[in-house]
Chains A and B, each alone.
Chain A
């Protein structure tokens, strides 16, 4: 429904005259003139023998005016009734048009909202999938820069296969800092981050450049000692343990509690899971 249509409807309503105060006044005046005034005159002159002709004429004129007012009022009511009917008819059509128009618009709006909600839902799902995908694509640990456990396990599996093809051993050593939580509580996250950074650099220097390093959990780091058997890996691990212990003592007063476990393919298993389990790593 447009504003112009609404304005026209209001104008039609006001034209009926029913809503104005003049109707009430005219009605009161007509009743007074046609009923109460003649009655009052009659009562005033009751019992008297003489009523002047002028008075009768005035009374007749006033009564006539009263009747004229009454007649005019009836005509006004008739016109108002007619116009009201017309208005109601127009209003009905208009209402129908409004309803039908509004319904279609509401339906369209509902459909648009539904499509929009579907799109938003799809977008959210896509974002979630992308987030998972990004997580999957991440191969390094943020704190140390070493491979994360998922990628490290894949690399270990590959190296075990390669070692089998070339009849070579594949060593695995896992360093556990048993009192890692003490360091975290004492140093705080920020300073611990710096310590981990230094520790990462130390471990990189301590092993061969082609060895593969991964962070398996917050307190454990593992090294794939390529083509090293248990004996050779054990030698590397003892050197590494000493260096890590010295570094941690320099960084904090806490006495480091280090555990190093060693495994080797083929002796301890011929799969990454078997080797990690042999080194005390709980997978999953």
Chain B
């Protein structure tokens, strides 16, 4: 976990500008919107049409080495869904992908969310392997994988 913290020193907006995905002006505009309306910077730049979700996910993947996993038509295995409560998955915008041995693989929209990863470790008592994916795909996967009324 210390290693994970060490690596995350830059904010998403800075990374996007550094990698040339968006301009500094676009970031400033997005930050202004964030101040006024709130919300996550990644979602705001997508909403403003500056970038696509896939571009952000691939940028994070490239920057931090998280593998990018498109979740289109992906079905969450029931045994994996049982490990992570629905409200936790929705709250952190993540979805469990698979459990192999002592490792739980999850796809996250924001792989830089250290606290979410720690929570998953505490809940499951497993090591967490993080993949990056888009918010839309993750939410769709949660909707498919967790039945209504499930925990």
**Which residue numbers of A lie inside 8 Å of B, CB to CB?**
163-169, 227-232, 264-267, 269-270
Contact = CB atoms under 8 A, between A and B. Distances in A.
Contacts of A269: 87
A277 to B, nearest CB: 15
B113 A264 contact: no
Interface residues of B, number: 19
Contact of B123 (A163, A167, A168, A267): A267
Given A265-B91, A266-B87, A266-B91, A167 B122 contact: no
B55 interface: no
Contact of A231 (B91, B93, B118): B118
B92 interface: yes
Given A230-B122, A231-B122, A267-B122, A164 B91 contact: yes
14 contacts: A164-B91, A167-B116, A169-B115, A169-B116, A229-B118, A229-B119, A230-B118, A230-B122, A231-B119, A232-B118, A266-B90, A266-B119, A270-B87, A270-B91
Contacts of B91: 163-164, 167, 265-266, 270
Interface of B: 38-40, 85, 87-88, 90-93, 109-110, 113, 115-116, 118-119, 122-123
Given A231-B118, A266-B85, 14 more contacts: A165-B38, A166-B39, A167-B40, A167-B92, A167-B110, A167-B116, A229-B115, A229-B118, A230-B122, A231-B122, A266-B87, A267-B119, A267-B123, A270-B87
Contacts of A267: 85, 88, 119, 122-123
Contacts of B40: 166-167
Nearest to A169: B115
Contacts of B123: 267
